[in-house]
Amino acid sequence: MRNLKQLFLSLAVATCMVSWLACHFEWRGGGMPKIVWNKSHPDIQGLKQERTTPSPALQKDDANSTIRHGSKASWNAFRGSDGTGIYTEQNILTDWPEEGPPLRWKKLIGGGHASFSVAGQLAFTIEQQEENEVVVAVSTTNGTVKWTYEYPAKFKEYFGGIGPRTTPLWNEGFLYTLGAKGHLHCFEANSGKLVWKKNLIEENKVELPYWGVSASPVIFQDKLFITPGGNQDNAIIALDKKTGEKKWSTLNGDQTYSTPVLLNLNNKLQLVVSVKSKIAGLDPESGKVLWSRPWKIFMNNYNIAQPTRLADDKLLISAGYGKGAEAFKLIKDKDTLKTESLWKSKSLKTKFSSPIFWEGYLYGLNENRLVCLDAADGSLQWRGNKYGYGQIIAASGHLIIMGDAGDLSLVEMNSSEFKEKASFKALEGGRTWNYPALSKGLLFIRNSHEMACYDLRRK
């Protein structure tokens, strides 16, 4: 009996040792790496085989995937057309079955943290395939690839892994993409034909950020805004969107990971940008600095989350690394604008995900836990579940949360109580930091292993 017990004990120890050796450590956004059975990575061979398989017959709504010049798209850029992360094109399905809403398609994809932009029946993203970054246009109907463009570029760092970080931008029939090493391309969106290209990291002679270029391009009228950083009044640059030629540049400082956002403030459209240790508002026409405010973040002094408009004269900025959130007011002082702090809170320490402002309240991830704050004074209304270091968008009075392990959740935007209505495993393949995208009631999600489209249209 004793020998039998020793045998079982030895087998148990051996099993634990094998299990331990089979596991991996992977950083998911917190202070310490997590133990995972499989590290996040793409299946490149499977992807190539899948994409060489003959495409199924086109469905009726995919027969004409051409995007007309001058047409509009509801989710043509990072966090939607207006950069707020709030989808208003149509009401969506908010009563999800236990297994989740209807899956339209699921396909393999390359590495990276890019999201989708969508126009017509095409969805655009950027992926990593071995030594190349690849711009991809896929059918919104069945996920088949319509065109690709690849070029030599491979970015890798320990914490975030391999691949591009930014989201393509579609505008009036053209697509603008920015790779993790600063490769900027302009394409004809329907065909993938290259129009122009450049690399502002090289042109500005600046160092690549540790986590790679992560701020997506932004467009206004005939100008494309890029934030390469620089110390010769060239940290923020406006390019002619048709030619790539420089129209103006301004500010000094290192680039951050925060995508600029166009906001109506003080009855004027402003381009709100960040450079290291600073947030500023610019006139998008001329590049004139209208105001600036110091914004220093402990440990990682590079802003990630986007600024959030609270009112015509009020803004919110937020960050992780113990920083928290701060609301401030813009005050007119003759021909300039001054800033004045309104409140600060440690209850909204955003890291990768920008908060959602809705009907007077802020919803966002405080590190990895969902919270709701009163935007008037920053007071905490409730703490919800943990979703890891995921991403949040909003539609039809609900939050759609893409958790960092591939779980998709639906939470009611209710300032009185936390109310999760659904949660299910939507993606396999590990770490998921990619923002969801919504267009025509279809939800597009991805990570570094697979992409999927869920149908959120009301029947």
Q: What is the DSSP string of 43-68?
A: -HHHHHHHHHSPPPPPPGGGS--PPP
pTM to 2 decimal places: 0.92
Which whole number is the average pLDDT over 215-223? Answer: 98
- What confidence tens digit (pLDDT) does each residue in 6-28 have? 644 554 444 344 344 456 778 77
- What confidence tens digit (pLDDT) does each residue in 316-336 have? 999 999 999 999 999 998 888
CB 427 within 8 A of CB 450: yes
Gap between the terminal Cα atoms of the chain: 65
From residue 157, alpha-carbon distances to 23, 164, 180 in Å are 20, 11, 11
- Strands in 380-386's sheet, in edge-to-edge order, are 356-358, 361-366, 369-374, 380-386
C-alpha 442/C-alpha 141 separation (Å) is 10
**DSSP-derived pairing of the beta strands 156-157 and 161-162:** antiparallel
- Strands in 314-319's sheet, in edge-to-edge order, are 308-311, 314-319, 324-333, 336-345
- Strands in 183-188's sheet, in edge-to-edge order, are 169-171, 174-178, 183-188, 194-199
C-alpha 239/C-alpha 198 separation (Å) is 11
**Mean pLDDT over each residue of the chain, to the nearest integer:** 91
Greater pLDDT, 91 or 31: 91
283 Cβ contact list (under 8 Å, min separation 6): 268, 270, 271, 290
Determine the pLDDT at residue 229: 97
Of the given ranges (6-20, 142-156, 208-222, 295-309), which has the lowest mean pLDDT?
6-20
Determine the pLDDT at residue 68: 55
User: Is the torsion defined by CA of 290, 295, 301, 302 positive or negative?
Assistant: negative
Determine the pLDDT at residue 451: 98
C-alpha 430/C-alpha 405 separation (Å) is 6
Which whole number is the average pLDDT over 363-374? Answer: 97
162 Cβ contact list (under 8 Å, min separation 6): 111, 112, 128, 154, 155, 156, 448
CB 432 within 8 A of CB 406: yes
From residue 412, alpha-carbon distances to 213, 288, 426 in Å are 33, 40, 19
15 Cβ contact list (under 8 Å, min separation 6): none
Which whole number is the average pLDDT over 365-389? Answer: 97
**Structural domains of the chain sorted by starting position, each given as residue range(s) with its CATH number in brackets:** 26-50+75-455 (2.130.10.10)
- Confidence band (pLDDT; 50, 70, 90) for 3? low
- CA angle 259/390/396 to nearest 5° reads 85
Other beta carbons within 10 Å of 54: 6
- Confidence band (pLDDT; 50, 70, 90) for 71? low
Report the phi/psi class of residue 351: left, alpha or beta, with left for phi > 0 and alpha for psi in -120 to 50.
alpha
CB 123 within 8 A of CB 116: yes
C-alpha 224/C-alpha 172 separation (Å) is 13
Greater pLDDT, 243 or 429: 243
C-alpha 162/C-alpha 119 separation (Å) is 27
Greater pLDDT, 443 or 8: 443
Q: Decide if pLDDT at 190 tops 80.
A: yes
